[in-house]
Amino acid sequence: MLKLGVNIDHVATLREARYRGRGSGEPDPLAAALICEQAGAHGITAHLREDRRHIQDRDIWRLRESIRTRLNLEMTNTPEIVEIALRLKPDIVCLVPERRQEVTTEGGLDAAGQEASLTELRKRMNDRGTEVSLFIAPDPRQVEAAARIGSQFIELHTGAFAEHFMVAANRERELERLVSAARQAHKLGVKVNAGHGLNYENLPTLHAVPHLVELNIGHSIVSRAVFAGLAAAVKDMLALMRDYRG
């Protein structure tokens, strides 16, 4: 069964737009995570960025204490974030590249160029009982490096697939890259996740990629929730107003 990890970063983004610098505010990422679990999600993903633009430290600790499914912490390999992860002990960490200017993670990790440091970090995380995934492009060199590093998973960056989805020839080219990378990883004994830019339109096509364990999806789910849940939210507010007598 293909599993779903729901990324709740965008819930925190909405909160921070209004309540940045405060110790509380709405919407609450933890409440969102619990709703996702109740709806059947197999895991919750959150990215603790160095600049804390959305998920805050308090969020990840509350998630660790409260959710019952798998906590996937997306993170960069920097001393501060690494120390937090070692104390947090999430079920899995997904190592990603991070640039302050980007809106979202724009590319895959250069695992081949960072083998030594990533191997050391992988060992430290595994020693704490945390599995390690590397967020990489579907590139043979990067898949080989992930296997040498000893990561339990790779997460294939599906951004190019999503970006080129509307042009048939480009879509097929990107899909074949994902298929090839998944087969290569499976042959090397590395489990395969995927994510980035996946939505309700392009996901069925991704079924052609073999050996997938879990998809991590956030923005598309949160975007649909704005509309799928908006009518109910308006009705709930109107219900609270009915008894007003002026």
As for how many domains the chain has, the answer is 1
CATH of the domain at 180: 3.20.20.70
pLDDT digits 0-9 by tens, 204-229: 999 999 999 999 999 999 999 999 99
Active site residues: 47, 74, 196
pLDDT in tens, 163-218: 999 999 999 999 999 999 999 999 999 999 999 999 999 999 999 999 999 999 99
Contact 81, 60 (CB under 8 A): no
pTM of the model: 0.93
In a domain, 246, yes or no: no
Q: What is the pLDDT of residue 230?
A: 77
Is residue 33 included in any domain, yes or no?
A: yes
The verdict on residue 26 lying in a domain is yes
129 within some domain: yes
Which residue range is the domain that position 177 belongs to? 3-240
What share of the chain has pLDDT > 90, as a percent?
Answer: 88
84: Cβ contacts below 8 Å, ≥ 6 apart: 48, 57, 60
- For 100-151, write each residue's pLDDT tens digit: 555 555 679 999 999 999 999 999 999 999 999 999 999 999 999 999 999 9
Residue 245 lies in a domain: no
DSSP of 162-204: HHTTTSHHHHHHHHHHHHHHHHHHHHTT-EEEEESS--TTTHH
Using left for φ > 0, alpha for ψ between -120 and 50, and beta otherwise, residue 197 falls in left
